[in-house]
Amino acid sequence: MSNPVPPDRAPDKPWRSEGAPSPEPTPPKRKMPGGWGGLILTALIVYLIANIVLSFFSDGDEPTISYTEFSKQVDAGNVTKIYSKGDAIQGQLKKAQDKPGDAKGTYTKFTTQRPAFADDKLWADLTKHDVTVTAEPVVRERSFLSNLLISLAPMLLLVFLWIFIARRMSAGMGGGGGMLGRKTPPKPVEIETGAKRTTFEDVAGIDEVEGELNDVVDFLKNPDDYRTMGAKMPRGVLLAGPPGTGKTLLARAVAGEAGVPFFSASASEFIEMIVGVGASRVRELFAEARKVAPSIIFIDEIDTIGRARGGGGAMGGHDEREQTLNQILTEMDGFSGAEGVIVLAATNRADVLDPALTRPGRFDRVVNVSPPDRGGREAILRIHTRAIPLADDVDLAQVARTTPGMTGAELANLANEAALIAVKRKQRAVTQADLSEAMEKVQLGAERPLVMPEEERRRTAYHESGHALLGMLQPGADPVRKITIVPRGRALGVTLSTPDSDKYAYTEEYLRGRIIGALGGMAAEHVVYGVVTTGAENDLEQVSAIARGMVGRWGMSERVGRLSALPADAQQAYGLSAAPETLDAIDGEMRRIVDECYENACRQLRDHRDRLDALAAALLENETLEEADAYRVAGIPRVTKGHA
């Protein structure tokens, strides 16, 4: 490959490039705003004003006095020296005198004119009063060059100031609207200095996505094979998935695997206050990518500018966003099959993208990047612990089993937290205990040094015991991994339950079991104390979300029927997505399901009151119970469900 691109000097390029060859340095041409004519006219005006001001000050320093006044000063012996050229006389007084006429101030140096008809004895008077007649002028006049330099000084200062402002404005207009827009700061270019680039070896847990992107890699490596068969590679690939699933890493891996230049930018970096700047940047980015084709352009968070366009006259930022989107659509449509430039984009809101963006011919391939399964989580943990010394007791497979639903970013954070804990404990390697504590911190929150009254601790112990016991009793429920009454995050106590294997579809029985388990804390307080506290707030939020989904989205209610009456984000659009009668029916069915589950929870806790008391007592004594201890104290056998 060619030499890597040097650090980007231009502040008007918001993208970063990797592995691109060095471009030929071409100094940018800057045009003087207003033209040189305006500068010359302004300079002349400043020159005239400066001369007038200088002449004003010059005249004020050397007043012209009458010859009569001069004779008086000579007779008074107040003249120290004079210089005469013809009838013109320059002189200097010993003591300052008031300026003649209405002029204010005093003077010591003066000029005067001796009349031609004067027959006084001037020489005798000068000799009498010891006045020195000099051979050089008393008042030295500045040379023409000095006067020119003094008068040009303000003009030169104005020229330098004008050029400085012009360059700033020129750079600003190129980088986002000049003084009116937000100037984009310089972005460092990622330089390849022989180090290994990101490849698929650095990506784990998403093998099916790699298979989709291998087509892109093969096309970039062997474009002639595809042209021979008349096949055209997708012009754009959209990576859609939750945050932290590795979409950006995948895009870098595709470029590194194919060994082609990689241009990356965030969509928000194209947006400015001045309309048209974003579109200009898009044109420049695609032009740069075409110069070094085959190459890859990656646009992160494309939903920032790729949202569906609305009708009506948009103004301001919306108009700028739409112009930027239109320019992206135009650039992608203008590709020919031989250009070898592929656009990758990432978003976690693929549902809000403009249809023109996802149609065939633009982003015509959508790759869903989902959280990894158990095997993928173990592989990701191995990648992120390559630089972390691990103790012999570390079982990454066990950690992967107890972290369902975690994304690659969350697993990387988990490994880093475990390393931080090991450093705090002055250890040489990360142990299984460090990983367990890091997982608790990530999933449950950090411990709080909160001192609770004994009665509050007892009620919290029964609350968490209610959650745990019902989780153990419910058939098909997720196993209880840990119970603690140590305050963590915003909670006074936590019961952690995770499945033995990843779940992708949920039955009505399982969801009802989830509701019963979530209501276990409130039910335990009701059974033991006969009261309900505010500690069940988060539980009720979970219960409401599950019940709403069962009734309004998943067709688990006979009364509402087999229809999806609520959107996925029902909490935002609740009340606007269905008829009032349907919403009333949904509320009624939600209440029925929750009431039935609550009665079930209370009945089971009354029937197993001895087990509830045993769990609460063990929690009060130990504060935290691990999985094996919890099942042993409750007297319930731990049955492995599904695949371990």
Question: What is the reported pLDDT for 557?
Answer: 87
Question: What is the reported pLDDT for 163?
Answer: 79
Whether 398 and 500 share a structural domain: no
Question: What is the reported pLDDT for 241?
Answer: 85
213-223 average pLDDT score: 80
77-105 average pLDDT score: 80
Question: What is the reported pLDDT for 162?
Answer: 78
Is the pLDDT higher at 39 or at 483? Answer: 483
Angle at 324 between CA 305 and CA 175, to 5 degrees: 110
Each residue of 62-78: b (16+ CB within 10 Å) or e?
ebebebeebbebbeeeb
Can you give the pTM of this predicted structure? 0.63
In the chain, how many domains are there?
A: 4
Whether 472 and 438 share a structural domain: no
pLDDT at 261 over 80: yes
Cis geometry, peptide bond prior to residue 294 (ω within 30 degrees of 0): yes
Q: Residue 283 falls within a domain, yes or no?
A: yes
Whether 471 and 405 share a structural domain: no
pLDDT at 174 over 50: no
Do 109 and 63 meet the contact criterion of CB atoms below 8 Å apart? Answer: no
Strand partners, 496: 482
Whether 434 and 563 share a structural domain: no
270-288 average pLDDT score: 74
307-320 average pLDDT score: 56
Question: What is the reported pLDDT for 138?
Answer: 65
Nearest CA among 154, 170, 155 for reference residue 34: 170
Considering 443, 474, 494, which residue would you say is the last residue of a domain? Answer: 443
Distances (CA, A) of 226 to 220, 233, 253, 440: 10, 8, 22, 51
- Write out the residue range of the structural domain in which residue 425 sits: 374-443
pLDDT tens digits for range 401-436: 888 888 888 888 999 999 999 999 888 889 888 888
Please give the sequence-ordered ranges of beta strands (E in DSSP) within 47-150, or none if there are none: 79-85, 88-98, 106-113, 132-133
pLDDT at 526 over 80: yes
What's the CATH number where 129 sits? 3.30.720.210
Considering 322, 344, 368, which residue would you say is the last residue of a domain? Answer: 368
Whether 107 and 235 share a structural domain: no
| Greatest C-alpha distance within the chain | 143
Collapsing DSSP states into helix, strand and coil, what is residue 571? Answer: helix
Angle at 227 between CA 223 and CA 229, to 5 degrees: 120
Strand partners, 624: 484
Q: Residue 530 falls within a domain, yes or no?
A: yes
pLDDT at 13 over 90: no
Q: Residue 178 falls within a domain, yes or no?
A: no
Confidence of residue 596 (pLDDT cuts 50, 70, 90): very high
Confidence of residue 570 (pLDDT cuts 50, 70, 90): very low
- Note if 464 is an active site residue: yes
Task: Give the pairing type, strands 624-626 and 480-484.
Answer: antiparallel
Whether 207 and 235 share a structural domain: yes
Report how far residue 491's alpha carbon sits from residue 516's, in angstroms, rounded to the nearest whole number: 19
pLDDT at 318 over 60: no
Confidence of residue 277 (pLDDT cuts 50, 70, 90): confident
Considering 105, 121, 138, which residue would you say is the last residue of a domain? Answer: 138
Question: What is the reported pLDDT for 274?
Answer: 54
What's the CATH number where 329 sits? 3.40.50.300
Whether 362 and 399 share a structural domain: no
Whether 468 and 616 share a structural domain: yes
Q: Which amino acid is at 175?
A: G
Whether 363 and 378 share a structural domain: no
Map tokens 């044109």 to a residue. Answer: 283
Strand partners, 482: 496, 626
Question: What is the reported pLDDT for 314?
Answer: 44
Question: What is the reported pLDDT for 598?
Answer: 92
Residue set of the binding site: 241-248, 463, 467, 539
Question: What is the reported pLDDT for 47?
Answer: 66
Q: Measured in Å, how far apart are the chain's first and last C-alpha atoms?
A: 47
190-195 average pLDDT score: 45
Q: Residue 605 falls within a domain, yes or no?
A: yes
What's the CATH number where 428 sits? 1.10.8.60
Least confident window among 14-23, 315-324, 466-475: 14-23
Q: Residue 13 falls within a domain, yes or no?
A: no
457-465 average pLDDT score: 89
Nearest CA among 248, 249, 262 for reference residue 198: 249
Residue set of the binding site for Zn(2+): 463, 467, 539
Write the DSSP symbol of residue 22. Answer: P
Whether 210 and 333 share a structural domain: yes
Neighbours of 428 (CB within 10 A): 7
Identity of the highest mean pLDDT range in 267-271, 446-450, 518-522, 573-577: 518-522
Catalytic site residue from 288, 301, 440, 464: 464
Question: What is the reported pLDDT for 177?
Answer: 42
Q: Residue 173 falls within a domain, yes or no?
A: no
Question: What is the reported pLDDT for 491?
Answer: 77
Provide, rounded to the nearest whole percent, the portion of the chain with pLDDT above 90: 7
Least confident window among 202-211, 374-383, 405-414, 606-615: 202-211
Whether 626 and 559 share a structural domain: yes
Strand partners, 238: 345, 366
Q: Residue 28 falls within a domain, yes or no?
A: no
Q: Residue 384 falls within a domain, yes or no?
A: yes
What's the CATH number where 592 sits? 1.20.58.760
Residue set of the binding site for ATP: 241-248
Whether 329 and 471 share a structural domain: no
73-95 average pLDDT score: 81
